[in-house]
């Protein structure tokens, strides 16, 4: 398999796993579970899944890599697995679902900018146009073409998006050196779980489990493990820009799943948004505007 096709395969699996987990998370939250409790429980589950996988396949990999790379993976886990999740969830509680659905995707713009500043990836006019086109498409899908009103929670959502972007840049930097992608995935889940439990303790939010949701939470944990694995596998063979731009297909996949399986309705602005994202994705592939490693 060529490196080109491997990039597309990994980012596709990443996007599909993420989309399925968004739908599943929505279903679980509708059952009344606290978002931070859900984040903690799925991160613990993901840590267990990834630990079992690593111990079964390559136990020595957990201590492989330089101290600097392991430290980078841990910091990335604290930021991307823990703080960004918590801050964005706070933003969701203080804002609207439409605002959140669009603003959290600004992480794509943050990744492209940070990759230019710190990873020396190019920032061409075409790349900027493609990112802007995808963000417009995401806006139309999330808001159904309606004007969103600024909310105080939007600041937290943007901070969460920035946190996810910073974690992606750190992951790319350490994976390029001497640490395996699956190990980075494990540290992201582990540190995310630790940060989440500390947040629950500080806010005096007692850890609780609902046995009726156990299967759904285990399934969500498994999907989250796949998200981390294929995110970092993509970063191991592709640029940070390519990874984030191509993952903008997620809103389109979520829309299709919602329409086909949840019988949700879609309207013209959402169709236009999907066309914009798909078109920009095809252009990204054909022009190889983000294919630098």
d(CA 199, CA 228): 22
Instruction: Provide mean pLDDT across the span 27-34.
Output: 88
pLDDT at position 244, please? 95
pLDDT digit string, tens, across residues 192-214: 999 999 999 998 888 888 899 99
pLDDT at position 117, please? 96
pLDDT digit string, tens, across residues 99-119: 888 999 999 999 999 999 999
Q: How confident is the model at residue 289 (pLDDT cuts 50, 70, 90)?
A: confident
- CA distances (Å), origin 243, targets 67, 167, 232, 250, 272: 26, 13, 9, 12, 23
pLDDT at position 227, please? 96
pLDDT at position 223, please? 97
Q: Mark 98-123 as b/e (b = at least 16 C-beta within 10 Å).
A: bbbbbbbbbbbbbbbbbbbeebebee
pLDDT at position 149, please? 85
- CA distances (Å), origin 93, targets 33, 151, 251: 13, 11, 20
What proportion of the chain, given as a percentage, has pLDDT over 90?
A: 70
d(CA 128, CA 123): 7
d(CA 185, CA 233): 9
pLDDT digit string, tens, across residues 35-53: 889 999 999 999 999 999 9
d(CA 274, CA 19): 14
d(CA 91, CA 96): 9
Which two tokens mark 278? 């798909």
Q: What radius of gyration do the chain's Cα atoms show?
A: 18
pLDDT digit string, tens, across residues 211-231: 999 999 999 999 999 999 999
d(CA 280, CA 293): 20
pLDDT at position 1, please? 59
Q: What is the sign of the dihedral through the CA atoms of 164, 166, 124 and 291? A: negative
Q: What is the mean pLDDT of the chain?
A: 92
- Is residue 293 scored above 60 in pLDDT? no
- Is residue 3 scored above 70 in pLDDT? no
Q: Is the pTM of this model over 0.75?
A: yes
pLDDT digit string, tens, across residues 125-146: 999 999 999 999 999 999 999 9
């Amino acid at each position: 398999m060529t490196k080109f096709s491997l990039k597309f395969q990994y980012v596709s699996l990443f996007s599909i796993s993420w989309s399925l987990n968004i739908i599943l998370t929505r279903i679980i939250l509708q059952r009344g579970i606290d978002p931070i409790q859900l984040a903690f429980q799925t991160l613990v589950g993901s840590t267990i899944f990834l630990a079992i996988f690593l111990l079964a396949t390559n136990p020595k990999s957990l201590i492989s890599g330089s101290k600097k790379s392991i430290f980078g993976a841990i910091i990335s886990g604290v930021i991307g697995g823990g703080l960004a999740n918590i801050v964005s969830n706070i933003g969701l509680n203080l804002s609207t679902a439409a605002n959140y659905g669009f603003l959290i995707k600004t992480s794509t713009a943050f990744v492209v900018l940070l990759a230019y500043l710190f990873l020396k990836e190019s920032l061409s006019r075409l790349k900027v146009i493609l990112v802007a086109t995808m963000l417009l498409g995401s806006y139309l899908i999330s808001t159904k073409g309606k004007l969103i009103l600024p909310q105080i929670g939007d600041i937290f959502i943007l901070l969460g998006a920035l946190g996810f972007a910073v974690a992606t840049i750190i992951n790319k930097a350490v994976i390029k050196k001497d640490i395996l992608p699956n190990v980075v995935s494990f540290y992201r889940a582990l540190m995310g779980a630790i940060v989440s439990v500390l947040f629950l303790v500080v806010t005096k939010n007692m850890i609780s489990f609902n046995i009726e949701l156990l299967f759904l939470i285990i399934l969500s944990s498994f999907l989250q493990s796949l998200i981390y694995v294929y995110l970092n596998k993509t970063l191991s063979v592709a640029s940070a820009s390519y990874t984030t731009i191509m993952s903008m297909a997620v809103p389109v996949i979520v829309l299709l799943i919602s329409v086909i399986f949840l019988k949700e309705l879609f309207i013209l602005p959402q169709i236009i948004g999907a066309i914009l994202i798909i078109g920009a994705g095809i252009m990204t592939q054909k022009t190889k505007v983000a294919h630098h490693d």
